[in-house]
Amino acid sequence: MPARDFSPASRYAGIVTILLVSTYELGRQPFGLASPRAWLEREGHCVACVDLAVEPLSDAQIHAAEAVAFYLPMHTATRLALPVIERVQRVNPGARLACYGLYAAINAEMLGALGLTVIGGEFETGLVQFARGQAPPLISLERQTFLAPQRSALPSLHQYAKLRMNGSEKLVAYTEASRGCKHRCRHCPVVPVYDGHFRIVQRDAVLEDIRQQVAAGATHVTFGDPDFFNGPRHSLDIVRALHAAFPDITYDVTIKVEHLLRRRDLLETLKQTGCLFVTSAVESLDDAILAKLEKHHTREDVFEIARAMREIGLTLSPTFIAFTPWTTLAGYRDLLQAIAEWEWIEHVAPIQLALRLLVTAGSRLLELEDLRETLGAFDRTALIYPWTHPDPSMDRLASEVLQLVSEQQETERSRLQIFAGVWQLARGQLAQEKSLPERYLQTARSPIPRMDEPWYCCAEPVTAQGRLI
């Protein structure tokens, strides 16, 4: 890192002190701080990073910065950033401010009205331009040659989410081998920015990023790509090289059902190179809802890939958007029944049973006339279009499930205990099997590898008490 020079001459030479801020990224050490830091330091700038998920931001840090940029990779991060932006503007009104990441571009109108520069898509080049005092494009899909992220000044991996397995825990590295996605699922936040395009992070940069985190104690790697099989040749080249260099390191990836089916021939390679589990955004087991979301898979496709993965001993971690404007009580009960029948109770984070469909600015969901009829005006605090279910009892059930999950997670109930409570809520007044049947209690598979920070996407992550989670 270059020596810091705060003299007037350094400012004349174009060197600035820039503060990069992350508010939340699912318990991960942020790639979105480490990667742009490497780019900005190469330019000679003085860069500080703060991850508010694990460390405080002081007024002294705010005062010292000539420019501040907020990393907004997800909805929760954006909501948490808003009061911090207000604070920075109050403490250091002369600082230039920017936001970057997926949700910066999605909320460009609101952020621009607050006086911030917005940088979406491939943001490293845009941040370099911002630091130079230039106007970066709102969304750039420029192909970049990545640098190895600079993580040396970030909080220790010990402060982030761990992998829990067989009563033990592993420190987790986080990296990205690609951004964007080839697909245009209607509800996905990637689509308004990348619109069916994806961009790779070069192999050497990814492997060097992993090496430095392994040196810091990581024994498991999470690949945060929206879909690891958008470029399967690139992805498998990386995990083969990872396994050759670090044969004891395990990893997890996110892959859509459609890709898992199409490239099931690659599942064995994932298993052989150390993949412990695959997260897949199943979203629903109702074919009509899946069609609305344009997921391009069916209920039976989910079960087919579940069978294939079980045969080779690869764990599937399905995620769901449990409540949508089209979810029926019968459909919700069917979802719980399927989770129990497929022995996924331990695979599914309880919050997945409570999530509501998220409708953001720019979402392709707004193309659906029947959905638009359920929407209220855009909420500039929640950053969503709130929707109301045509059946008020479904909104009540959603609220009750969220309340139960939130309260029982706080008391550290097991996934099985929480699931049993949700099952009973959903069964309501039904006399038959109102309580979770004994056969499901006996067949709930545990332990399985899982992160101790729940994964969610495209859904409203707010507790019944209004707190962000």
- Could you report the average pLDDT of every consecutive run of 10 residues in the chain (469 residues)? 37 76 95 98 97 97 97 95 98 98 96 97 97 96 97 95 91 98 96 96 98 98 97 98 98 98 97 97 98 98 97 95 97 96 93 95 96 95 95 96 91 90 86 77 72 62 40
Quickly tell me which residue has 């331990």 as its tokens.
346
pLDDT at 241: 98
Name which of 264, 275, 187 is nearest 226 in CA terms.
187
- pTM for the full model? 0.92
Q: What distance in Å separates the CA atoms of residue 39 and residue 23, rounded to the nearest whole number? A: 21
Rounded CA separation 51/37 (Å): 13
pLDDT value, residue 444? 58
Residue 144, Cα to own-chain centre: how many angstroms? 22
* Distance (Å, whole) CA 387 – CA 149: 40
| Count of CB atoms situated within 10 Å of the CB of 21 | 27
The phi and psi torsions of 148 (rounded to 5 degrees) equal -65, 130
Structure confidence at residue 455 (pLDDT): 53
pLDDT, position 467: 40
Which pLDDT value is given to residue 461? 47
**Residue 124 to residue 136: CA distance in whole angstroms:** 10
Comparing CA positions, the residue from 463, 465, 457, 467 lying closest to residue 25 is 457
Sequence-separated (6 or more) residues with CB below 8 Å from residue 308: 260, 264, 267
pLDDT of residue 85: 98
3-state SS, one letter per residue, for the chain: CCCCCCCHHHHHCCCCEEEEEECCCCCCCCHHHHHHHHHHHHCCCEEEEEECCCCCCCHHHHHHCCEEEEECCCHHHHHHHHHHHHHHHHHCCCCEEEEECHHHHHCHHHHHHCCCEEEEECHHHHHHHHHCCCCCCCEECCCCCCCCCCCCCCCCHHHCCEEEECCEEEEEEEECCEEECCCCCCCCCCHHHHCCCEEECCHHHHHHHHHHHHHCCCCEEEECCCCCCCCHHHHHHHHHHHHHHCCCCEEEEECCHHHHHHCHHHHHHHHHCCEEEEEEEEECCCHHHHHHHCCCCCHHHHHHHHHHHHHHCCEEEEEECCECCCCCHHHHHHHHHHHHHCCCCCCCCHHHHCCEECCCCCCHHHHCHHHHCCECCCECCCCECCECCCCHHHHHHHHHHHHHHHHHHHCCCCHHHHHHHHHHHHHCCCCCCCCCCHHHHHHCCCCCCEECCCCCCCECCECCCCCEC
pLDDT for position 213: 98
> With helix as H, strand as E and coil as C, how does 198-220 read?
EEECCHHHHHHHHHHHHHCCCCE
Omega before 447 cis (within 30°)?
yes
Q: How far apart, in Å, do the first and last CA atoms of the chain sit?
A: 35
Q: Which of 393, 388, 465 is nearest to 429 (CA)?
A: 393
pLDDT at position 435:
84
Name every residue whose Cβ is closer than 8 Å to that of residue 237 and which is 6 or more positions away in sequence: 203
pLDDT at 166: 85
